[in-house]
Amino acid sequence: MANSVYIQLAELIVLLLGIAFAGWQLYQIKKHDAFDYLVEYTRRYSEILRKLPIESADSRSIGELSEEQWREVWAYLDLCGEEEFMSRGGYIPKAIWKEWKDGIQENMKKKLFQTGLEYWRKKGWIGDDVYRFLRKPTEYSELW
């Protein structure tokens, strides 16, 4: 009888260790995924900005852009929406999200992105949540 209790206790300890190990592995996977998101979003941001006339973003109207640049404006707006969504899910660390949000806020002051936001909104490519966020990044994000 006493041996049975020790065996059950040992089985319970092994089970608890297995659960703890699985939890640790899930935590490590989430951390790794978060790093992958950061790298991927940074890469996409760099690619988009390389294709846009950022130096004249305050003076250009969207009609002066090439079709490729027009789509890159949309790609930027879409990326911003994805980043905001991922930040709400906890996949982007708060300190990094603050930096990104500040950058989005500065970019959205530029005529290029304001005009692009309205253009793509009218075409139905920008949803309500993303539109509200991009209109006022700081205010909207404080809700999360």
Residue 27 has pLDDT above 50, yes or no: yes
Sign of the C-alpha dihedral computed for residues 74, 75, 77 and 81 taken in this order: positive
pLDDT in tens, 100-142: 999 999 999 998 899 899 999 999 999 898 999 998 876 654 5
pTM of the model: 0.72
